[in-house]
Amino acid sequence: MKCSFDKYTKGDTTIFHGDCLEVLPSLPDNSIDLVFADPPYNIGKKFGRFKDSWPSEKDYTEWCFQWLEICIQKLKSSGSLYVMASTQAMPYLDLWLRNRLTILSRIVWHYDSSGVQARTYFGSLYEPILFCVKNPKSYTFNATEIEVETRTGAVRKLIDYRKEVPTPYKSTKTPGNIWYIPRVRYRMPEYEQHPSQKPEALLKRIIKASTNVGDCILDPFGGVFTTCAVAQQLSRRSIGIELQLDYIKIGLRRLGIASHFQGEKLRAMDKIFVRRNDKNIADRIREEKQSGLFNAQI
């Protein structure tokens, strides 16, 4: 089979431009500590030129099983795999994966939305994530690195009077499987032009928990390479794969791999923080730029 993909590397970060079904087999088996897979969800979303839609649910899940199978081959025996999917598709992946790996957590990534989700049923405000390991007796889980505040101890400051000497409740704990993390919004500094970019905070928790410094992380659906960006921040090695050139160009810039692509300077988008229909929009942007507000944090 003739493979056609391009590879860009700098330091500990490598990104591939191509179809993950072609790129994944080229990676060495048993070499990856963590796979984070955030595939298209088969819900008709548009990613640049790619339409996230398969002829049937069966076609979609069979495609998922193909790349999941290869990802499992690439995982070390102590490795972990996190996979995201739509609420509709996740049961199929769960049933398939539980025959191949041990599913340790079924995580709910919960977020809020100020817009109306649905008026005739309960709108979906979460995305499921499975956390699986190859060997439940030997895998990385750095519980102390990801502790969160407890309500009883840190927020309500309650005392446990059942103890012989009354003692304050612990103020931190390992997070449970419901994670409230806001979605990436336009005004956030981490925002890139991608319709389903995942928050850095989500990846930070996963990478800190399931890898150590120097470990290697694989993301077969890189998007704008949030996984690789967080891996860099946390001194981990990473490999990201993405089908679409526009997102590759964002990744090259975001990850500091290249400042130019085929003669084009790779620039972060200019964000506009005034109403689009404002009569004096050009003047307002100029003023914001001069006052340093342009690209300011929310």
Ligand X SMILES: C[S@@+](CC[C@H](N)C(=O)[O-])C[C@H]1O[C@@H](n2cnc3c(N)ncnc32)[C@H](O)[C@@H]1O
Decide: 215 and 34 in contact? Cβ < 8 Å. Answer: yes
**Cβ 159 to ligand X, closest distance in Å?**
42
Residue 38 makes contact with ligand X by CB under 6 A: yes
CA-based end-to-end distance of the chain: 49
Residue 40 makes contact with ligand X by CB under 6 A: yes
**Cβ 69 to ligand X, closest distance in Å?**
14
Q: Considering beta carbons, is residue 126 or 294 the nearer one to ligand X?
A: 126
**Cβ 124 to ligand X, closest distance in Å?**
16
Pairing of strands 167-168, 148-149: unpaired
How far apart, in whole angstroms, are the C-alpha atoms of residue 50 and residue 287? 38
Q: Considering beta carbons, is residue 50 or 180 the nearer one to ligand X?
A: 50
Residue 251 makes contact with ligand X by CB under 6 A: no
**Which 213-232 residues touch ligand X, going by CB under 6 A?**
221, 223-224, 226
Nearest one of 63, 71, 78, 65 to 25, comparing CA atoms:
71
Write b or e for each residue in 77-111: b if 16 or more Cβ atoms lie within 10 A of its Cβ, otherwise e.
eebbbbbbbbeebbebbbeebeeebebeeebbbee
Decide: 52 and 41 in contact? Cβ < 8 Å. Answer: yes
Name the one range near ligand X by CB under 6 A: 92-100, 192-200, 204-212, 280-288. Answer: 192-200
Q: Considering beta carbons, is residue 101 or 228 the nearer one to ligand X?
A: 228
**Cβ 31 to ligand X, closest distance in Å?**
19
**Which 98-157 residues touch ligand X, going by CB under 6 A?**
none
Helix axes 200-210, 226-233, angle to 10 degrees: 60
Using CB under 6 A, list all residues that contact ligand X.
19-21, 38-40, 47, 50, 194, 196-198, 221, 223-224, 226, 241-244, 247
